[in-house]
Structure 1
Amino acid sequence: MKALRCDQTPAWAALEASFETSGKHFDLRQAFAADPQRFASFSQEAPHVFADLSKNLIDDDSQALLLALARQCGLESRRDAMFAGERINRTEQRAVMHFLLRNPPLAQEGHAQSAINNIANERAQVHATLDAMLSYAERLRDDASITDVVNIGIGGSDLGPQMAVLALEEFANTGKRFHFVSNVDANELTHVLKGLKPQSTLFLIASKTFTTAETMINAHSAKRWFEAQGGQDIGRHFAALTTNVAAAKEFGIGTTFGFWDWVGGRYSLWSAIGLPIAIAIGAAGFRELLAGAHAMDEHFRTAALERNLPVRLGLLDVWYRNFHGFGSRSIAPYSSALRRWPAYLQQLEMESNGKRVDMDGQLLPFDTSPVLWGEPGTNGQHAYFQLLHQGTAVVPVEFVAVKRAAAHLQHLPEHQSKLLANVLAQAQALMLGKNDVGGHRHFPGNRPSTVLLLERLTPASLGALIALQEHRVFVSGAIWGINSFDQWGVELGKMLASDIEPRLQSGDLSGLDASTSGLLQRLRA
């Protein structure tokens, strides 16, 4: 699967020349004035998601060159290798098959998919685990004695389930409350436990290895609280989402649901890690979530590159990062239900593509992942939009808007109309700007944005939106020639923490640098 790295292709050189002659001077206002069909040309429908890309700094020529870059980098063959179950995660010698978690059973397929049939054994395992997990979720939903579900995990074992449970509150079981504990800071666990009773609480311990440091200290503290408060039957009130059945059993847990080494943590909400979601929205709702994601998988797998939304977004990210030099992207979901969306995308993209070497370990001469940050609208407008409109740095903005409010909000229609008016106005203001010779009220405009529009926020549309972002990250990573599916950068700090922790007790300073030594002494004083 050897392909050219992006900077070694003819298209890359052509893009550099194009940027110098026209790209750096591109003006959105002139582009719209010159082309009445620009909105139609640079927007498209994908499964459950409509995307308006027209307010981005691209034209037909730059888009054509970016598509040529994708082909010269072997994007299609890389994509096909993933769907065929090849070990594209080369540094860990693993396949990357999170898409398989949302594939329907073979009996539901209307046609044969050779790429999927090649991994039929894994597919059967997925559905056996899924069926067992959803059966358990339904039993929990029917159990009125359980009023609170506490998910203890971190990273992908927390961010995905938490984001989705909050986003799909409209479809949740109203008889249960959901809590998420991730931080090793005792404040978080103590705050959650404060209002709970052991006899009505279910704890889900989410750790593939059942050894994740933060998760396990929180799990053991929760267990001690449970027992100190008179709780009985650990087996009934604790379940584990892990492959380490022996360790879970030693903890006292008998109910476990596992997953596979080809599921990365940040891609795992579709697996047993999604049990909190299944308990919240039910088996049918969870299957709708999977179906929405699968529809986007098929779009990515089969659509021509020119009308392939994950491809177009991923190429736009390369254009902005490597040619315009934009170092960050602001995520602005205009839906309070999506308030954890920016945090979820931070892990998905920055942990995947925050890399400095290519697949062969060679240092890259260009930048990779941008920094992602943001808050829900309209809160962000009163916080950091000042910088977006008038700051010295240009930051592309990605808006997410939902056309129809949740059913339980229909009695407040004026809120939704104001929300939608604001998202349209902000995107318009970033593009148009406003001239003021005095300077203080001058808005330069020509600042790019994308609008992703959902008809409604449902399990299916959320599933498609998440899968869209997963594949977009794959695209930019493939163009850069990096491995988007390992995360070695997470390990060093964890390793050093295990060395430093006993030193806080012993005071041993041997081998430490002067700064760490000085801080450790101050903490012990």
Structure 2
Amino acid sequence: MTRCDQTTAWKKLGEHFNAQGKSFDARIAFALDAERVSTLSQTAPHIFADLSKNRIDAATEALLMQLARECGLEAQRDAMLTGEAINSTEGRAVLHTLLRQKLHIAGVGSAQSAINSGVNADKLQDVHSVLSAMLTYAETIRADDEITDVVNIGIGGSDLGPAMATIALDEFVTPKKRFHFVSNIDGHELAATLKTLKAKNTLFLIASKTFTTIETMTNAQSAKAWFTAQGGTDTARHFAALTTNVKAANEFGITTTFGFWDWVGGRYSLWSAIGLPLAIAIGADNFRQFLNGAAEMDAHFATAPLEKNLPVRLGLLDVWYRNFHGFTSRCVAPYHSALRRFPAYLQQLEMESNGKRVDKGGQALPFHTSPVVWGEPGTNGQHAFFQMLHQGTEVIPLEFIAVKRAAHSMLDHHTKLLANAIAQSQAFLQGKVSEDGHRHFPGNRPSSFFVLDELTPASLGALIALYEHRVFVSGAIWGINSFDQFGVELGKVLAKDVEARLHSGNVLSVDASTAALITKLK
């Protein structure tokens, strides 16, 4: 592996940016190239992507592909898929792709080749053993009419993934049960949820790999206290744990547990036992389709040539924008209300993975890494932050996600929704010339447009996997470890000391601001 800034391609990209990229106008590029849309569009499993409104051309993509090869992207990809310990700081493999791999199917590239040769065969058997048990339990709960409410208690990847996906696949969710997601240690969230529940009708899922996560276990203990106060007696029936710490779960009173492995990072764990609330919501068959959609994207990522590999093209585009154009953020606007939590999910996926300041060797980087990822559903965003996107002083690339076929019968609504998505992407490109500065739109604002035929378990699985691999690509080019998250820990450690001080009032040996805040809030 060679870090990006130490390659010949990096230098060439800088020269190319100064000569052409800095002043690149996509409107002119369209006028000069009748094939631009077909060249910069492609289909991947379940997804069509139009990248033609971005500030790239064939010359830019060729240099980015050269960069990928000089950085050893293909070898880094294969190392991940075959189970090498690419999480170097923790000495772990990164095998979330194995969670959606079928048993005994024809080869789909390097990942399957490794399984066929026995490298990951035992791990795959373990995955399917847990998956089978989890889905059997999910079907049992779905058939239990006495359980009307399922409450998932987790945080980070143990919350964002299943919450996002359950909302996104609402059309497939059983109408016989309600699903709730509690993550914040703020008691207002749990209290508001418990107000709507009855103990005898509620199943609590406690999602914590170690069964020690402070937010999750605080909420779990309070949920158990509420359950007991409401007359609940059968903790084993009304609580299940998604954890590897079976002993701690048993001490809590839980006998039903589903584990996962240290080669599954939290933000990549939706495909594992952490997906249990989703499996209960949409059923075993649909959950398997969810896994299959992701596996199809895995196969595409593993086998497609770089020039036609959608995660690769997107990850390289991110590098081009972040490091050469200097764009600091990227907005995601799903034009489907069911995808309203998708931008929040992507925030953790990308910013926790690639928000790093040192390379794999621990050396400080002389260039920027992860952009800020943010967004809201269209058309809501049009009446809020699109003003800045159209006429603000910063250029912020925008990603539209549209679904061709609606799952409801109000087709006029859907036509208007799609018209807005297309029109906004057109407006970002074309702009509007006016001598009145207030009414002038500069245009040439870059955007990508993704289309799903339908929002189904399979297409959602493919969409999530696309973004997972895209994040891997940019991280591999930057030479960082995208699979640790030490930045999450420092504040959590300090919080234990501050909590003790809030009880005691002792502010000795802390900085003046912290001391003042403890005194103010005690």
TM-score (norm 2): 0.99
Distance (Å, rounded) in 1 between the aligned partners of 2:108 and 2:515: 64
Write the deviation string for residues 213-261 of structure 1: whole angstroms up to 9, x where unpaired: 0000000000000000111200000000000000000000000000000
Q: Which residue of 2 aligns with 1:80?
A: 78
SS at match of 2:52: coil
> What pairs with 1:100-119 in structure 2 (closer than 5 Å)?
100-106=98-104, 108-109=105-106, 113-117=112-116, 118-119=119-120
Deviation of the 1:110 alpha carbon: 6.1
> What pairs with 1:265-344 in structure 2 (closer than 5 Å)?
265-344=266-345
> What pairs with 1:195-214 in structure 2 (closer than 5 Å)?
195-214=196-215
In structure 2, which of residues 487, 490, 493 is the aligned counterpart of residue 492 of structure 1?
490
Q: Does 1:159 align with 2:160?
A: yes
Q: Which residue of 2 aligns with 1:377?
A: 378
SS at match of 2:283: helix
Distance (Å, rounded) in 2 between the aligned partners of 1:110 and 1:297: 12
Deviation of the 1:116 alpha carbon: 2.3
Q: Does 1:358 align with 2:359?
A: yes
CA contact (8 A) 1:378 1:422 kept: yes
In structure 2, which of residues 476, 481, 484 is the aligned counterpart of residue 483 of structure 1?
481
Q: Amino acid of the residue matched to residue 474 of structure 1?
A: F
Write the deviation string for residues 33-89 of structure 1: whole angstroms up to 9, x where unpaired: 111111000000000010000000000001000000000000000000011100000
Deviation of the 1:454 alpha carbon: 0.2
In structure 2, which of residues 5, 20, 37 is the aligned counterpart of residue 22 of structure 1?
20
Q: Amino acid of the residue matched to residue 5 of structure 1?
A: R
Q: Which residue of 2 aligns with 1:520?
A: 518
Q: Amino acid of the residue matched to residue 301 of structure 1?
A: A
Q: Which residue of 2 aligns with 1:36?
A: 34
Q: Which residue of 2 aligns with 1:191?
A: 192
CA contact (8 A) 2:311 2:466 kept: yes
Q: Which residue of 1 aligns with 2:465?
A: 467
Instruction: Percent identity, please.
Output: 69
Q: Which residue of 2 aligns with 1:129?
A: 130
Q: Amino acid of the residue matched to residue 315 of structure 2?
A: G
Write the deviation string for residues 392-427 of structure 1: whole angstroms up to 9, x where unpaired: 000000111000001xx12x1111000000000000
Deviation of the 1:111 alpha carbon: 7.3
Write the deviation string for residues 277-327 of structure 1: whole angstroms up to 9, x where unpaired: 100110000000000000000000000000000000000000000000000
Distance (Å, rounded) in 2 between the aligned partners of 1:99 and 1:477: 17
Distance (Å, rounded) in 1 between the aligned partners of 2:397 and 2:95: 30
SS at match of 1:452: strand
Write the deviation string for residues 146-186 of structure 1: whole angstroms up to 9, x where unpaired: 00000000000000000000000001111000000000001
Q: Which residue of 2 aligns with 1:437?
A: 435
Q: Which residue of 1 aligns with 2:55?
A: 57
Q: Amino acid of the residue matched to residue 368 of structure 1?
A: T
In structure 2, which of residues 67, 70, 78 is the aligned counterpart of residue 69 of structure 1?
67
Q: Amino acid of the residue matched to residue 501 of structure 1?
A: E
SS at match of 1:504: helix
SS at match of 1:471: helix
Deviation of the 1:510 alpha carbon: 1.7
Distance (Å, rounded) in 2 between the aligned partners of 1:252 and 1:20: 64
CA-based RMSD: 0.8
SS at match of 2:264: coil
Q: Does 1:235 align with 2:233?
A: no
Deviation of the 1:109 alpha carbon: 3.6
CA contact (8 A) 1:83 1:116 kept: no
Distance (Å, rounded) in 1 between the aligned partners of 2:174 and 2:458: 17
Unaligned runs of 5+ in 2: none
Distance (Å, rounded) in 1 between the aligned partners of 2:415 and 2:34: 27
TM-score (norm 1): 0.98
CA contact (8 A) 1:209 1:242 kept: yes
SS at match of 1:22: helix
Q: Where has structure 1 moved over 4 Å in runs of 4 or more?
A: none
Q: Amino acid of the residue matched to residue 466 of structure 1?
A: I
Distance (Å, rounded) in 1 between the aligned partners of 2:10 and 2:343: 30
SS at match of 2:377: coil
> What pairs with 1:210-229 in structure 2 (closer than 5 Å)?
210-229=211-230
> What pairs with 1:230-269 in structure 2 (closer than 5 Å)?
230-269=231-270
> How many residues are aligned here?
518
